[in-house]
Structure 1
Amino acid sequence: MDDNQTLPLILAGPILRRVTADSVTVWLATSQRRDFTLRIYDTADEQVGSSVMQDSVSQQRDTWAGSLQSHASLGINLHVTLIEARPDRVGDPFQQDTLLRYNLFDDQDNPLPEIADVCLDGEPLPGFYIPQHLQMFAYGSCRKPHGPSFDDQEKTQHHDSLALLADHLSDNVQYLANRPSHLFLVGDQIYADEVPETVMDSLKKIAVTLVGNDIALPCGATLSTMDSAQRTALKAACGLTSDSPDMHLMSFGEFAAMYLLVMGNRIGFSIPEKTAPSPAMDSLRDFLASQAQVRKTLANIPTYMMFDDHDVTDDWNINRSWYNQVHSSVSGSRIVSNALAAFWAFQSWGNEPAQCNQEFIDTLQNHLIVPSNSEYAKHYDFTLRKFHQWSFVLPTTPPIFVLDCRTQRDFGSFNSPPKLLDRYALDSLHQAWFKLSPEQKQDTVAPIFITGTPVFGFSVIEGLQQSAYRLGFLLGMAKGILAPSRLDVESWIANRQGFSMFLNAIMYRMGYKKATFIAGDVHYSFANHATYTSQLAPGNVQTLECLQLTSSALRNTPEAGRALETFLANDITKVRRGHSKPETLAWWYRVFFWRFLRKDVWKIKVVGIPGKSTQARPDPQFQKWWEPWVAKTLQKLWQWLEKKDGQSRTDPHTYWITCRPNVGLVYLEQGNVVKQVLLSGDDRQAHLTYNVPQH
């Protein structure tokens, strides 16, 4: 947006959010508060649902709960609206497994012209479908606008991966068997702590325009006038540990402006002409050029979103020491509150709208509209810091549990790796399970759990992280290069008790015998099969068959690139065992010699699943004298492993892990995942397919 350019009415959206057989929700961000009407149509163009209740059935709507249109006024020029449509015929839900379309109308009953902008190729309106049984969904994470984006052959992917999904949806408008019914964005939808100065200069201006106030932090810092050096100093003073040389979002308006940029860029942000060329700016230009397609993606598939650390700040809640350090600073705490308020408005609200009541919305509105009121500010900070209802469940078949693994941690000691879900979070998970239908709770069902970081990752990298952490602890380098925040020591297995508590809750409390885990975060993609065996008491041994799928990143290829595929290839079976602390064992274990020897009460066996790529691995380019020797040694190792278990490792089209930017497509048959396909490449030519063995 140029300095003299006015804001458009539609700042972002429409984005299709929570959809069930009884309800369809659409999200919009606007520069003026407006009322809209949402109407749902079948393929014969007959209206089958609306957000406006017909007078003739007004007395029959026993399930009607409050208004079907909710507003949150978060700035003078920023209004977020959720519009819900219900079926026209009471007791007759929306038809499943068939294409439905929708349209939006203003208060004069005129169709919104912006709808034409989000229609798939050849379609008159945006559309979606509601599956009776889950057949296919899409997911991804880690979408950095200026991040590097190249495939395993180090060829640049110009298109945003979410734009690739729009092309896939267009190709499969009517072919629902190959059209994903849901999209899950599982973390790092923005990089709040890595904003180039060129981008930040524009975001600061947009932020003030949106909110209408240049809201200072409690320390008195006026963010719109601070330069890069001042903001870096303020970041350190607030206890934030991100070591990125780029700038950090801090005000609510800045977070909001960034969301508007990445959610389709209707505000018209562009890179200033005098900006010096660089790989980051080239990548950003490609990203911006893809946003018209991204708008189509988000309008044509029900989209659900969960945060990870970069949506707030790097290392967010990594351990107790970090939490205490940041929240001991009033300004540090306010930055986290601003990030969470923006996350709620732009990501969370549409996941499960009923989780946030009007009191919650009023708390945010009061502070942002009247920032000078200190009581409003205190209530804002407290409410957001203590809000723990970000997780949600979709009652699909199989059910999908989307988990907040950031705000419900059990930290333990100051710098030790935390349990990613504390006992209260596990109780909430169990409570959500109770609300499912009997069909969804059967032990033969394989529920899907969406977590920020993989539950079953690679023992190589996780082991190195933990070893480095222990070394740093022994050397007293808690604030140095081996600090937990530098090493990202927050994998599930880093706290073995928390790891086993989570899996035991699924197996013993919820009664499932198999489960699928979906994750992102790590900037490489893979598939693992795991067997988890646990013994809570003598004779009570149970096994959970697990599948781990990971798609990352949508747009942020790690600098190591292809080297990760060789170094981390999960081509050898891993077995891990876990000890339980004496107080968690039955009394007869505690009083006998197990108290001193400790007993293995669980173990896991993890086996990688190979993927077949449409692109062959490139021939290695040796630059150092020792690289040919390493390559030859690995080749002999792979040949030996092929003879041992028969799985192909020397085939140049076989990948165990990939760093190519992608969006993941997951296929199911009869409730079980059978395949993962990673869409990649500007022409979607770089597919990588993981066929999942059925156990």
Structure 2
Amino acid sequence: MHHTLPDLPVLPRILAGPILRRVTVDSANVWLASSSELQLELRIFDANGTLISQPPEPKAQRRRNRTDPTSWQLGAQLWFTLVEALPLADAGTFPQDTLLSYALFDTETEQPLDLDDVCLEGASRPGFYIPSQLGVIAYGSCRKAHGLTFNDDGSIQRKDSLALLTEQLEETQHDLSQRPSMLFLIGDQIYADDVLPELMTYLQALSLQLMGKSIPLPDGSDACLISTQERTALKAGCGLTSSSQHAHVLSFGEYAALYLVTFGNRVGFQFPPEGREDLAAARHMRTYSPEKLKDFERLSLQTFVSSQPQVRKAFANIVTYMNFDDHDITDDWNLNRSWYDKLSASANGTRVISNGLAAYWAFQGWGNNPDNYPARFIQVIKDHLDDPEDRHKCAEFDFRLWKFRRWSFVLPTNPPIFVMDSRTQRNFGSNNQPPQLMDRYALDEMRGEWLNIENQQQTPIFMTGTPVFGFSSIEWLQDVLYRIGVLMGGFTGLFSASSIDVESWVANRRGFAFFLDTLLLRMGLKKVTFLSGDVHYSFANRAYYSNRSNLMKPQSDTNDWQYSPTLQCLQLTSSAMRNTPESGRWLETFLANWTTKVRLGPCSPETLPWWERVFFWRFFRYNTWAVEVNGIPGKTVQQHSIKPWWKILLFWRVIKIENWRPRLRTELNWITSRPNVALVYLQNGEVVRQVLLSGDERENNLTYEIPPDTIP
């Protein structure tokens, strides 16, 4: 059953961008999506307005494994351009710790593109800087267009969190000691599996306009013309397990259309209010009954769209890196072997994932590290989209996208930053067993990148989709429910891995220990910092990991089976930018009182000394590694008065008396669900502070002061 699609206006020339992407002292890159081919030259200027860059020569690009074309046409009106600038030959590198700016010149008209709408206040061009040592960086995840945006007290944040980052850039644009130099989006930049019906209809029409044709799925289904009911049935038939009641994008064109709306909405999507309540009039979560949740989602989407001009400014004025998580493709993506086997056995399911990965490359991955993507890889995507009826091209498209293993990347900053792919390089156990998030080959690749770093005395930063050290009490509860589900799920489906999203690092304890052993024993690290998202609540903690089964080095003062080496870890988590959990906030508040936890775990027998691998010791598989996790409380702008002594009791920390009536407290600062984008402050390579930007006027910020590190 086909339905009528809306008529759309003529597309603007620039569909998305400019977005400032990978920038080092050796190279600067700017990304755009357009409705026609762009022949651009990127020009970098110093603080005096002097040109300090030159375009790369094609031969030099080939030597560096760069693709010769800087623009790729993937639809009738859909072009992607990544334009690079190199330092002048006599300078050798771009200057550091000074404000730079850039312009994009059209080489056909010899005129600069009009970028006035993305310039910060008072600036004539968008700007950035390259830090010699990291000072302030920003990061966040989970940005759903119609997501709930409740602060801890139930009040509503109307602005997109990235708009708050723009305001921060405006205030600090000339103070480089306080201005964020980089933005990391570490997952769920779009929610491909959760699109409101009104937006879905628009995406179908925009997809046809972009691609110039409808590209059917392998079974012949035309994603751009099917109804919502048909889409839901098709999703279930593929094996996609998203529990969202809303639509799932399926075709490459639909993924691309969703990115265009989410990455600044230059295409001009508008959501008519149709007489709905004004979001500004709603001040508290309980204003909305469950029946009005859909109304709130519609209103939330309207406020999201109204923030996009500010978001475009943020993308243009800060170096941006992006990593995927499940919702960028589909919920439960590579959750376990059962999910993987079912999807890979479905022609439609395989194609949906391939379409999502191709769109991720075009909108996110390409700009992270262009050298990771050879021309042949991109050509496979283009060949399929140009000729989707060719079976050989379809087969190669699916195979190359599913098996590609170069999504992760490393930045040569000081300290270095590792952005890790923990989605496509997993090691699956039995059908529903939680996976090892990075297999041995991925960890070996990470070790190789570390060997390439000259100064190994720094504390590296690792960007991970989900926290390596999650909030202990919540992960403990999830583990208990999963184990109950293992016993009962075969009959009832209760607490299945999919329903409770079991994919934390520690859910697979062998993989958890293998990952940390790689850092501690194989890479020789003593301190690391993890920045994560995904879990829809924010927190900070310290963790100390030790493993007494260390066989990697000869016996020494730090390796004598009595005093095991310890890995000191700082875990910072910022989530979500725009997706407050509908439920669980009260439970999270209660569990926030449990901020310290010691975990123990076994190692595989082959990692133990020989005398512990023989006879009955082998059957005990007793604990050989230990982790102690300690929560770090945050501080709000408005300090609370000193609590009476009786409030230190657990019960009274959670219950608050107002007007002689009890109320559950949500202002506990160990954990928060407030929408935010985080700023991380470093001094001499060490993190000293995290600030969660939150609230329409940033009045709801939460600050975590990181205490000096001491081994317990």
Please give the range of the TM-score, normalised by the shorter of the 2 chains: over 0.9
Would you say the 8 A contact 2:66–2:371 is kept in 1? no
1:339 Cα deviation from its structure 2 partner: 0.3
Q: Which residue pairs with 2:606 in the alignment?
A: 583
Give the equivalent residue in structure 1 for 2:95.
95
Do 1:613 and 1:654's aligned partners in 2 also have CA atoms closer than 8 Å? no
Check conservation: 2:472, 2:596, Cα contact below 8 A.
no
Q: Distance in 2 between matches of 1:151 and 1:39?
A: 42
Return the match for 1:660 from 647, 654, 674.
674
**TM-score under structure 1 length normalisation:** 0.92
Residue 215 (structure 2) pairs with residue 215 (structure 1): yes
Work out which of the residue numbers 632, 645, 650 in structure 2 matches 1:634: 650
Whole-Å Cα distance in 2 between the matches of residues 247 and 36 of structure 1? 37
The Cα offsets for residues 409-445 of structure 1, whole Å up to 9 and x where unpaired, read as: 01111100010001011011111111112x1x22xx2
Please give the TM-score of this superposition, normalised by the length of structure 2.
Answer: 0.90
1:687 CA displacement:
1.2
Distance in structure 1 (CA, Å) of the matches to 2:395 and 2:90:
44
Distance 1:215 1:573 in 2: 53
2:33 match? 29
Matches within 5 A, 1:146-225: 146-225=146-225
Q: SS of the counterpart of 2:650? A: helix
Distance 2:412 2:224 in 1: 44
Q: Please name the residue that 1:433 is paired with.
A: 450
The alpha-carbon deviation at position 372 of structure 1 amounts to 1.2
| Secondary structure in structure 1 of the residue aligned to 2:255 | helix
Q: Structure 1 residues 31, 196: CA separation in 2 closer, same or farther (over 3 Å shift)? A: same
* Residue identity in the other structure for 2:486: F
- Cα deviation for residue 112 of structure 1 reads 4.0
Equivalent of residue 423 in structure 2, options 391, 406, 409: 406
Aligned with residue 531 of structure 2, among 518, 526, 529: 518
Cα distance in 1 for residues equivalent to 2:570 and 2:247: 38
Check if 1:12 corresponds to 2:16.
yes
1:600 aligns to 2:623 (yes or no): yes
- C-alpha change, 1:472 and 1:604, in structure 2 (3 Å) is same
Q: How many residue pairs are counted as aligned between the two chains?
A: 668
Q: Which amino acid aligns with 2:250?
A: M
Q: Measure, in 2, the Cα distance between the counterparts of 1:476 and 1:576.
A: 26
Match of 2:490 among 451, 466, 477: 477
**Structure 1: how far apart are the matches of 2:667 and 2:8?**
52
Q: Which residue number in structure 1 is paired with residue 289 of structure 2?
A: none
| Offset of residue 458 of structure 1 | 1.7
2:383 partner SS: helix
Match of 1:283 in 2: 300
Residues 315-394 of structure 1 aligned to structure 2 (within 5 Å): 315-394=332-411
Whether contact under 8 Å (2:636, 2:703) holds in the other structure is: yes
**1:528 corresponds to:** 541
Aligned residues of 1:37 and 1:52 also touching (Cα < 8 A):
no
SS of the residue 2:392 aligns to: helix
Matches within 5 A, 1:51-66: 51=55
- Aligned residues of 1:478 and 1:484 also touching (Cα < 8 A): no
The percentage of aligned residue pairs carrying the same residue is 52
Residue 271 of structure 2 is matched in structure 1 by: 271
Please say if 1:694 is aligned against 2:711: no
> What are the equivalent positions in structure 2 for 1:100-115 lying under 5 Å apart?
100-115=100-115
SS in 2 for 1:177: coil
Conserved? CA contact 2:325–2:465, under 8 Å: yes
**Any conservation in 1 of the 2:6–2:205 contact (CA below 8 Å)?**
no
Note the alpha carbon deviations across 1:120-146, whole angstroms, 9 max, x for none.
111110000001011110000000010
Q: Which residue of 2 aligns with 1:559?
A: 582
Judge which range, 406-415 or 534-543, deviates more: 534-543
Checking the alignment, whether the CA contact within 8 Å between 1:551 and 1:662 is kept in structure 2 is: yes
Does the 8 A contact of 1:664 with 1:676 survive in 2?
yes
Structure 1 partner of 2:554: none
Q: Give the aligned residue type for 2:133.
A: H
| Kept after mapping to 2: 8 A contact 1:447/1:516 | yes
Q: What are the superposed Cα offsets for residues 242-295 of structure 1, whole Å, 9 maximum, x if unpaired?
A: 111100010000000000001000000111454866101110110000000000
Q: What is the CA distance between 1:354 and its match in structure 2?
A: 0.3
Paired residue type of 2:461: I
2:560 aligns to what?
539
What is the letter of the counterpart of residue 492 of structure 1? W
Deviation at 1:59, TM superposition (A): 11
Distance 1:205 1:653, change over 3 A: closer
Give the secondary structure class of the aligned counterpart of 2:367.
coil
* Deviation sequence 1:129-171 (CA, Å, 0-9, x none): 0010111100000000101112112111111000100010011
In the superposition, relative to structure 1, how do residues 509 and 212 fare at CA in structure 2: closer, same or farther (>3 Å)?
A: same
Q: Please point out which of 322, 331, 349 is paired with 1:305.
A: 322
SS in 2 for 1:563: helix
Q: Find the aligned partners of 1:338 and 1:275 in 2 and give their Cα distance.
A: 37
SS at match of 1:293: helix
**Residue pair 1:152, 1:617 contacting (<8 A) in 2 also:** no
1:568 Cα deviation after fit: 2.6
Which residue of structure 2 lines up, in the alignment, with residue 143 of structure 1?
A: 143
Please list, as runs of the form range in 1=range in 2, the aligned pairs for 1:124-135 lying within 5 A after superposition.
124-135=124-135
Conserved? CA contact 1:612–1:690, under 8 Å: yes
Q: Which amino acid aligns with 1:9?
A: R
How many Å apart are 1:594 and its aligned residue? 2.2
In structure 1, runs of 5+ residues without a counterpart are 619-629, 640-649
The whole-number CA distance in structure 2 between the counterparts of 1:242 and 1:397 is 39
Contact 1:40 1:47 in 2 (8 A): yes
**Measured at CA, do residues 478 and 39 of structure 1 come closer, stay the same or move farther in structure 2, by a change above 3 Å?**
farther
Residue of structure 2 in register with 1:623 after alignment: none
Query: How much is the aligned-residue C-alpha RMSD, in angstroms?
Result: 2.5
Match of 1:462 in 2: 475
CA contact (8 A) 2:589 2:665 kept: no
1:446 CA displacement:
1.1
Matching residue's letter, 1:176: L
Secondary structure of the corresponding residue to residue 304 of structure 1: strand
Q: Give how far 1:510 is off.
A: 1.2
Q: Distance in 2 between matches of 1:40 and 1:636?
A: 58
CA distance in 1, matches of 2:299, 2:671: 27
The question of whether the paired residues in 2 share the 8 Å contact of 1:617 and 1:652 is answered with no
Gap regions ≥5 residues in structure 2: 278-294, 552-558, 656-663
Q: Secondary structure at the match of 1:655?
A: coil
Deviates more, 1:268-277 or 1:453-462: 268-277
In 2, the alpha carbon distance for the partners of 1:635 and 1:238 equals 47
Q: Contact 1:570–1:657 at 8 Å: present in 2 too?
A: no
Query: The residue matched to 2:498 in structure 1 has which SS?
Result: helix
